[in-house]
Amino acid sequence: MADWYKILVAVDDSSLSERVLNYVGEVVGSLDKVEIRLLHVYPEPPPHYFTEEKHTLLEYQQEKESVATQIFAKAAGVLANHGVGGEKITSSCLMATGKTFSKTILQVRKEGGFGTVVLGKRGISKAEEFLFGSVSNAVIRESHDFTVWVVS
């Protein structure tokens, strides 16, 4: 079983992510042993991306990683406000290539031995959840040997 203090936090540029980070900071801000990995997952480019103005996959990835750098900087600031030092924080930016966001998060969790995964609850409608699924619900369904914190 993975250690609970190795925490994987899925982040994006939403106000919900800021609430997630504030929650994580409040819960673990004073702990010495905590390790936090910030994870930003983005989708594959839409088909029209390559036909409009002849964009490349590398350009798309660089664009998304530039956005992620800003997200990580803001996230580190939120965590720092709760006493979580930068030495306790790492970050990863990944494209969900050929799989869902939830599968990507679960893969990172497993490979990194994270015992806790923290996600925001999007608040999508029942129809959207039926059609597209819920990332938090999908992660919860697979949480047999780790803890999931869902923040709304």
Nearest to 12 by CA among 127, 129, 118: 118
pLDDT tens digits along 58-75: 999 999 999 999 999 999
Q: Are 121 and 136 in contact, with CB atoms under 8 Å apart?
A: yes
pLDDT for 1 equals 53
Query: How far, rounded to the nearest angstrom, does the alpha carbon of residue 116 sit from its chain's CA centroid?
Result: 12
pTM over 0.85: yes
Residues 106, 140 contacting (CB under 8 angstroms): no
| Homologous superfamily, domain 3-151 | HUPs (3.40.50.620)
In the chain, domain spans: 3-151
- The pLDDT assigned to 143 comes to 83
Spans in the chain with pLDDT lower than 50:
123-132
